[in-house]
């Protein structure tokens, strides 16, 4: 049967898509994204740990981490590399969402939805990094201002509450992946030695539990904002860490979660080598 022009064009597009996904450049960009992700979590974790130990430091979120990075020696060079990595990570996640697979692995329907959400988040972070490099001093809207804006939409309160529940769900899923070490299924464990596999298993466990705490807290306070119709109740990562600090034994709690975020940063660096793309 002779191919029609449309089927021939479709076949060509699919072939081009496969070439891109299996290219060395695509893999390099994807893996650089794990380094960028790790660096951001390392900055957030180190600054929070210093605060918990009483050695300065501060509570910050992803955007604050990018600003901190650009203020370092050779900061613009470092931030440029991080922006490239964030773009690469976003591209990888969006490709996985669109195709349901990559050259080294495949995804379920739920995985594809998660990949889409993650891709959009990291694309936004990449855009923020580029704006900082361009000299823009305009900060992104804070969680409370964003929440106040959404309250003005039709069914805005319900949307905020639903977003909070989703974030709580993401946090609990992070905990599940940590406790069960399900994250190792995404790694090329066959290329790891026994000690490396054990080490990555432990830092991944601690790191995912720390993310569970942060995401679950942020989601819970977003739900609280919806229930009480109070946008000031909404918090981001820095706000969630601040809530920990306000609790009894707050410095200890903050220190433990901060150490966990640093562990997740190290796990991200290992993902740059062992993650199935």
* 171-208 tens-digit pLDDT: 999 999 999 999 999 999 999 999 999 999 999 999 99
Residue 137 confidence (pLDDT): 56
Is pLDDT of 54 > 60? yes
Residue 101 confidence (pLDDT): 76
Read off the pLDDT of residues 64-115 as tens digits, 9 standing for 90 and up. 999 999 999 999 999 999 999 999 999 999 998 888 877 777 777 788 888 9
Residue 19 confidence (pLDDT): 64
Higher pLDDT, 108 or 4: 108
**Sign, CA torsion 172/173/178/179:** positive
Tell me the mean pLDDT in the region 252-269: 98
Highest mean pLDDT among 24-38, 151-165, 197-211: 197-211
Rounded to 10 degrees, the C-alpha dihedral 197/199/201/204 comes to: -130
Position 96 in a domain: yes
Tell me the mean pLDDT in the region 54-59: 92
Work out the number of other CB atoms within 10 angstroms of the CB of residue 226. Answer: 25
What is the Cα gyration radius of the chain?
Answer: 20
Residue 184 confidence (pLDDT): 96
Residue 103's domain spans which residues? Answer: 20-274
Q: How far apart are CA 43 and CA 270, in angstroms?
A: 17
On whether the CB atoms of residues 96 and 107 are closer than 8 A, the answer is: yes
Read off the pLDDT of residues 122-146 as tens digits, 9 standing for 90 and up. 999 999 999 999 987 555 667 888 9
Work out the number of other CB atoms within 10 angstroms of the CB of residue 143. Answer: 23
Is pLDDT of 21 > 90? no
Number of domains in the chain: 1
User: Nearest-CA neighbor of 30 among 42, 20, 17, 43?
Assistant: 20
Position 11 in a domain: no
What is the pLDDT confidence band of residue 8, given thresholds at 50, 70 and 90? low
Residue 142 confidence (pLDDT): 79
Q: Which residues contact 245 (CB under 8 A, 6 or more apart)?
A: 51, 52, 59, 251, 253, 254
Position 5 in a domain: no
The pair of structure tokens assigned to 81 is: 């590399």
Position 1 in a domain: no
Is pLDDT of 5 > 80? no
Position 4 in a domain: no
Position 9 in a domain: no
pLDDT over 70 for what percent of the chain?
91
Is pLDDT of 220 > 90? yes
Strand partners, 101: 106
- 3-class SS shares of the chain: helix, strand, coil, % to 5: 80, 0, 20
Position 13 in a domain: no
Q: What are phi and psi of 275, to 5 degrees?
A: -70, 140
DSSP 24-56: HHHHHHHHHHHHHHHHHHHHHHHHHHHHHTTSS
Is pLDDT of 13 > 80? no
Position 6 in a domain: no
Q: b vs e for 68-103, b when ≥16 Cβ sit within 10 Å of the residue's Cβ?
A: bbbeeeebeeebebbbbbbbbbbbbbbbbbeeeebe
- Average pLDDT, whole number, for the chain? 90
């Amino acid at each position: 049967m002779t191919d029609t022009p449309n089927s021939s064009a479709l076949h060509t597009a699919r072939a081009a898509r496969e070439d891109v996904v299996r290219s060395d450049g695509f893999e390099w960009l994807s893996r650089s994204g794990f380094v960028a992700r790790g660096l951001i979590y390392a900055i957030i974790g180190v600054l929070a740990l210093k605060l918990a130990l009483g050695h300065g430091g501060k509570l910050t979120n992803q955007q604050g981490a990018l600003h901190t990075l650009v203020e370092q020696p050779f900061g613009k060079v470092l931030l440029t590399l991080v922006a490239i990595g964030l773009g690469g990570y976003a591209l990888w996640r969006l490709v996985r969402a669109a195709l349901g697979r990559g050259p080294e692995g495949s995804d379920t329907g739920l995985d594809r939805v998660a990949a889409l959400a993650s891709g959009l988040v990291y694309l936004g972070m990449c855009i923020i990094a580029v704006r900082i490099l361009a000299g823009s001093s305009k900060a992104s809207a804070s969680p409370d201002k964003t929440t106040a804006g959404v309250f003005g939409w039709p069914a805005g309160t319900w949307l905020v509450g639903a977003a909070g529940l989703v974030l709580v769900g993401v946090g609990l899923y992070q905990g599940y992946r940590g406790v069960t070490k399900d994250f190792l299924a995404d790694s090329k464990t066959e290329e790891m030695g026994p000690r490396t596999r054990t080490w990555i298993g432990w830092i991944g466990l601690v790191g995912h539990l720390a993310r569970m705490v942060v995401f679950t807290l942020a989601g819970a306070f977003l739900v609280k904002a919806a229930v009480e119709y109070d946008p000031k109740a909404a918090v981001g990562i820095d706000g969630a860490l601040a809530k920990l600090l306000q609790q009894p034994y707050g410095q200890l709690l903050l220190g433990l979660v901060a150490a966990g975020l640093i562990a997740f940063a190290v796990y991200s660096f290992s993902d740059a080598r062992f993650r199935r793309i």
